[in-house]
Amino acid sequence: MKKKTEAQGDFVQVEKTQNKQEVKKAKKKDKKPGFFKRMGAKIKDVFSELKKVNWPTFGKVVKQTGVVIVVVLIFLVVITAFDYGLLNLLKLISPNIR
């Protein structure tokens, strides 16, 4: 009977070893890829998304840039006029200001 127990014990030991190997293989599959592989995949995704972008034409960009410059200049004039008016009002209230 003792031999059977040892044989069964050996069999169980071999089975545990196989299970450990299977667990190690499963852990390797579950492990996330390395840093450089992840960065390479991210860069590849960025370039694939950039191909899908609908880029504006040169003429459209120039027109939109002109609109932005005009709006900025208008706000510049309005804020300067407002500042000049407040400065003159402050000079009326307090004559010590240059």
Q: Report pLDDT digits (tens) over 48-96.
A: 999 999 999 999 999 999 999 999 999 999 999 999 999 999 999 988 8
Query: Residue 24 is encoded by which pair of tokens?
Result: 């190690």
Predicted structure pTM score? 0.49
Q: How far apart are CA 84 and CA 88, in angstroms?
A: 6
